[in-house]
Amino acid sequence: MRRVLVTGGTGFIGQALCPVLAGHGMTVAVATRHPRLAEAMAQVEARSIPGIGPRIDWSGVLRDVDTVVHLAGRAHVVDEAADEATLREYQRINVEGTLKLALDAARAGVRRFVYISSAKVMGDSTAADQAFRETDMPNPQDLYAQSKWQAEQALAAVSVETRDRVPPPEIVVLRPPLVYGPGVKANFLALLKLTARAPVLPFGRVRNRRSLIHVGNLADAIVTGITHPAAAGRTYLVRDGEDLSTAEIVRILADGMQRKVPLLPVPGALLRLGGALTGGGAAVSRLLSSFRVDDSRIREELGWSPTWNVVQALQSTAAWFAAERRGR
């Protein structure tokens, strides 16, 4: 039986992942600053930790653990200041904190360490007919993505730093694109709100392509990363399996909310101008640009495929959001 410690287990991804791990017969412990939240979760043991950083002692939290899934970290914040203080926080939490956890895990005899990175380490956009692959050179564009890439590099060094003392854990890195599903926040929640409220939207001429992953599909990929022998030492991009345009995503979400939202054929240049004039240039750019990943490596090497169909997953997320709004 696998004994798994999940960091960030009370967050959006963690709350979807922990029941899946338990459903596969694994013993699940959650390392969290909010143990009361973890105690409310079924089939989970709460283990209190003061945070993520280079001075945290994980030895007690890692007791009786053979696998770590590291979800916790400093999340990306839209339009945050790229100043020295922000950079330092990303370094302290996402890079130094991840390295300290991995080193303590090695000393504790952890066999496998699954790190949830981000597809943003590859860059901010692709052409509509191209997709990032694991063999491409990473090109992180913001502080968050840079810290994720640096954390990946730090984990690769764990084997070198610990090989003379203890057997290092097998590192598995997953790089998801935008993750959505019930309970989602941030950018995707904003798109749900826009789809629910707007009488019309100006995306009728948007022909971009974007990779997404439903939180249930990501949870299933994490299980594969934990259990498959061939995953050791490998890095994988993951996605739902079908890339959609912003227009297609909005139509599917509207269907899930049982709404009709006409999409006006506004030229992209005009949308970008409007975004620049209103201070929403970055948000408009995300809605218009393409971001695609190629997940053929994990399919071929590990035999993984998503359990959720992207259309059904988007519609169920929209239905959840609509039900939440009605319940307020």
Question: Rounded CA gap, 70 and 150, in Å?
Answer: 15
pLDDT at 312: 95
Residue 144 known to be catalytic: yes
**pLDDT given at position 286:** 85
Q: Whole-angstrom Cα distance, residue 152 to residue 169?
A: 14
* Predicted pLDDT at 96: 95
Whether 298 and 304 have beta carbons less than 8 Å apart is answered as yes
What residues does each domain of the chain span? 3-177+213-239
Q: Which CATH number fits domain 3-177+213-239: 3.40.640.10, 3.40.718.10, 3.90.550.10, 3.40.50.720?
A: 3.40.50.720
Q: What are phi and psi of 271, to 5 degrees?
A: -65, -40
User: pLDDT 10s digit of each residue in the chain, 328 long?
Assistant: 899 999 999 999 999 999 999 999 999 999 998 888 888 888 899 999 999 999 999 999 999 999 999 999 888 765 566 678 888 999 999 999 999 999 999 999 999 999 999 999 999 999 999 999 999 999 999 999 999 999 999 999 886 666 666 677 899 999 999 999 999 998 899 999 999 999 999 999 999 999 999 999 999 999 999 999 999 999 999 999 999 999 999 999 999 999 999 999 988 888 887 777 677 777 788 889 999 999 999 999 999 999 999 999 999 999 999 998 886 6
Measured in degrees and rounded to the nearest 5, phi and psi for residue 218 equal: -65, -40
Q: Determine the pLDDT at residue 285.
A: 83
Torsion of CA 185, 6, 159, 96, to 10 degrees: 50
Q: Are 12 and 215 in contact (CB under 8 A)?
A: yes
Question: How far is residue 110's CA from residue 232's CA, in Å, rounded to a whole number?
Answer: 13
Contact 98, 143 (CB under 8 A): no
Query: Quick check: helix, strand or coil at residue 77?
Result: coil
Predicted pLDDT of residue 310 = 96
One of 90, 115, 144, 236 is an active-site residue; which one?
144
The structure tokens 């090109």 sit at 139
- How far is Cα 35 from Cα 50, in angstroms, rounded to an integer? 10
* Helix runs in the chain, H state only: 12-23, 35-39, 84-90, 97-107, 143-162, 186-197, 215-227, 246-256, 268-278, 281-288, 296-302, 310-327
